[in-house]
Structure 1
Amino acid sequence: MKPEQIEKQFSVNVFGTMNVIRAVLPHFRAQKQGGIINVSSAGGRIGLPLISMYVSSKFALEGFSEALSYELASQNISVKIVEPGGVVTPFHETAAKLFASNPELTDYNRFVESTLNKLGKMSENISSAEVVATEILTAATDGSTQFRYGVGVDAKEWIKDRTSMDDLTHIQHMRKFFES
């Protein structure tokens, strides 16, 4: 990706979120309550090849949201994260055009082709936008202190794998999955 594409990714997924939160916090503090729901991604918990800038922006959003949740709890302001896996939107087509490839780097051709094929198979279990919206509504209205809400079979399986394995085992598992 070009530097300006990377900056745009972070502007939307991280800095834009921070700016919206900065704008609503005075209102929430005046009310002495409030709720923030950030839409992240399963990719905010699991690194995936070819969309490294997307997942790194979502990792940043996850860290920011978690830290902010501790800071705002004393003000009766909750912070929650909704983590969808794949969702039926134009995202996949857009991401395919922007993923980290350079036609001059032919050394990666086999890996890219294999990875796109595997990611395509993974997208067979993606959720509808309505399913994600329902989970956002649940997060907003369930009255719980739950922080993360995984959405979709794919996201729940990826996150379960990630959280049930130590780092080395998970990295070996992912490398094996994405081997050419």
Structure 2
Amino acid sequence: MAKTILITGASSGIGKATAKLFQENGWNVVATMRTPDKETELTGLDNVLVIRLDVTDPASIATAVGAGIEAFGRIDALVNNAGYGAFGPLEVATMEKIRRQFDTNVIGLLEVTKALLPHFRANRDGVIVNISSIGGRIAFPLGSLYHGTKYAVEGISEALSYEMAATGVKVKVVEPGAIATDFAGRSFDFTNDESMTEYQPVVQGVFTTFENILGEAAPASLVAEVIHTAVTDGTDQLRYAAGADAEQMLAARASQDDAAFMGGIRAQMGLD
């Protein structure tokens, strides 16, 4: 019997690449997104259910999970991929933006996970893959909101892995580096106020550095391959770096103290 995976944020980037890869490998796929009526590629594939799920809308979560189980009998894996990045000086961020960032990247992830836990526990089987980032273990300037959410995902995942072990469910974290997705487009929410002149050198340094990094970004398919490994390798491994840059940056962070590593980031961004 074919296994089934539910993926959030499957309309583009990592989510869509993951949906296509699992479908190609014989899985049933519940490809969820906020606007499924705009999707054309995944809807034409066999054994793919495209359905609405907005991680900030609990009713849509329950409906999508129920529809996936009804269509395919059971769900064997969950990929919490939906999310975006809010950047900018914290002083400029409205509480509305702050809440939206955490509601999407953290609370939404928790709600989707909770919706599937009874199903996984009853089956005594399942894999939960949370898409974090190197930004869940390394922080860059102007990313207090985004990094706050991704550090939260790391902590949630590590803690959850302990309690799920008793149920046979595995928890995994995938940490991509720079990936050629729409993260720099519609998934990137930047806020600035040029009248706050003190912050503008940081803004310029961040934008210049990000442009350089994204110019060498790996394809989303690379992350999809890592997600496939995390779901299917049968191990208790918790964290998976995705991309050579991710491996290098995480190794550098692990080998240096705060002063050395943060000094390197400041130098790279011209903030010294």
Give the percent of matched residue pairs that are identical in Structure 1 and Structure 2. 40
Aligned to 1:20: 112
Aligned to 2:213: 122
Distance (Å, rounded) in 2 between the aligned partners of 1:74 and 1:169:
40
Q: Retained in 2: the 8 A contact 1:34–1:78?
A: yes
- The aligned residue for residue 143 of structure 2 is 51
In structure 2, the partner of 1:110 is 201
- Preserved CA contact (<8 Å) 1:51 1:99: no
Larger deviation, residues 118-127 vs 69-78: 118-127
Hey, what's the Cα distance between the residues in 1 that align with 2:270 and 2:191? Answer: 17
What are the ranges of 5 or more consecutive residues in structure 1 without an aligned counterpart?
none
Of 125, 134, 151, the residue aligned with 2:242 is 151
Measured in 2, the distance between the counterparts of 1:26 and 1:44 equals: 27
SS of alignment partner, residue 171 of structure 1 = helix
Corresponding position of 2:184: 92
Q: Deviations over 1:14-37 (max 9, x none)?
A: 111100111111111111121100
CA radius of gyration, larger in: 2
Aligned residues of 2:180 and 2:214 also touching (Cα < 8 A) = no
Q: What amino acid is the match of 1:113?
A: Q
How far 1:86 sits from its partner (Å)? 1.6
Matched residue type, 2:147? V
Return the alpha-carbon distance in structure 2 between the equivalents of residues 80 and 95 of structure 1: 23
* Cα separation, 1, equivalents of 2:99 and 2:229: 32
Which has the higher relative contact order, 1 or 2, with Cα contacts under 8 A spaced 6 or more apart?
1
User: What secondary structure, in the 3-state scheme, does the structure 2 residue paired with 1:83 have?
Assistant: strand
Moved more, 62-71 or 161-170: 161-170
- The TM-score normalised by the length of structure 1 is 0.92
Equivalent residue for 2:173?
A: 81
Partner amino acid for 1:78? K
SS at match of 2:215: helix
TM-score (ref. length: structure 2): 0.62
TM-superposed CA distance for 1:99, in Å, is 2.8
Paired AA for residue 227 in structure 2: I
Write 1 or 2 for the structure with the bigger share of helix. 1
Deviation at 1:5, TM superposition (A): 1.3
